[in-house]
Amino acid sequence: MQATAVVLAAGLGTRMKSALPKTLHRIAGRTMLRHLLGSCESVFDRIVVVLGPDMEPVAREAAPHATVVQTERRGTAHAALQAAAQFGDGDVAILYADNPLIRPATLTRLLQQRRDGAADLALLAFRPADPARYGRVVARDGWVERIVEWADADAATRAIDLCNAGVLCARAADMRRWLGDVRDDNAKREFYLTDVVGLARSEGARVAAVEAPAEEVAGVNSRAELAAAEAVMQGWLRNEAMEAGVTMIDPASVFLSMDTRFEPDVTIEPNVVFGPGVQVATRAQIRAFSHLEGATVGPGCIIGPYARLRPGTVLEGDVHIGNFVELKAATVAIGAKANHLTYIGDASVGAGTNIGAGTITCNYDGYAKHRTTIGARAFIGSDVALVAPVTVGDGAIVAAGSVITEDVAPDALALARGRQVQKPGRAAEIRATKKGK
């Protein structure tokens, strides 16, 4: 039987105090909406995203899934009802885009409870460390009787620690009917999704609660809650990496992206950040205070400390990239080294080549980027400027302090600097003159 997920993403997120729609804020490099859609894609056959007006960026992020627009923001039940024509004939789950951390296993249990547990309506519940003002789930004999909002609860009900997470699942026909019966007779004159539980119970429907881990269903409505969700996700990603054979000296100081990929026996020192699009091969060492994004690190490479790998960087095996070295759109072949204070951009470096301290590829002329090609087994001395486009041949040596504007032939020695002039005794004369003044 086909199952449909309806994701409510029409909220403005005013507490975020941002021009960016709330669901497009990122956790571990991925938008909140895309996190939830990824989980839903593993469980549901169809996904429909409910948007507010003028939310084209959110619609693009939701693609290729269907979208509908809630032209008037009149509450969560009203938002879900906008997707009723796309519910299909199977089961329907209503979820919130600002609950981005719900995992596929939890959604599977919700769907199974509806189908296998003989429940007409299933909802997600959780036990937070501090129940605070969450709505309480009142159950008897294994079935939910009602949900009581904190403001309406007496002392005994407030003592219940099982709280409503807001996610509901029912047969499509039942969900359409209950959503259509929700009324707006409340202070805000809005249609609330939580009223579906009361409507179901009034028909004698069996309502079941599926308990989810509290960290999965915590909502994100502010910058502080976004940071808390980031911390949860980072904890999951670090644990997955370590279980897969990665050593982290100080896991709490390492930040990963959702698509960071490691092979076994990688070692990561403290205070390292992995932006999106990074792959690290076995035996690589990422030393402290390095930042990697859009980069491929080959086996046995040593990166950092204080190194930066920008998008388009590809390091083959046993490459050494040292402190205060930055690479962008660069390929570095096996065994090459750039150990300190260097910028290599829009370049290729051959196998076994050594790049001296202070070397830069001058890749930008103010209008366009140009490429530098350095051959194998070359030696680039300290404080060299390679003015692209330029090629340094295999086995060439470029003397320290040179500004290279023309190609260097293989096995040639290139010097491009002013000749040193020495004037004996002149320093003493200068000191004497200055002292006399």
Catalogue the active-site residues: 340
DSSP string, 326-385: EEEEEEE-TT-EEEEEEEEEEEEE-TT-EE-TT-EEE-B-SS-B--EEE-TT-EE-TT-E
What six digits make up the tokens of 331? 């390929």
Strand 91-96 vs strand 163-171: parallel, antiparallel, or unpaired? antiparallel
Query: What is the C-alpha separation between 121 and 123, in angstroms, rounded?
Result: 7
Are 431 and 414 in contact by the 8 Å Cβ rule? The answer is no
Exposure string of 329-346, with b = 16+ CB inside 10 Å and e = fewer, is bbbbbbbbbbbbbbbbbb
Query: What is the C-alpha separation between 341 and 328, in angstroms, rounded?
Result: 14
Q: State how far the alpha carbon of 4 is from the alpha carbons of 9, 77, 85, 174, 360, in Å.
A: 16, 16, 12, 14, 55
Query: What is the C-alpha separation between 163 and 210, in angstroms, rounded?
Result: 11
What six digits make up the tokens of 426? 């002149």
- For residue 45, the one-letter residue type is D
Burial class (CB in 10 A: 0-12, 13-18, 19+), 155: exposed
Instruction: Classify 308 as helix, strand or coil.
Output: strand
- Beta-carbon neighbour count of residue 405 at 10 Å? 12
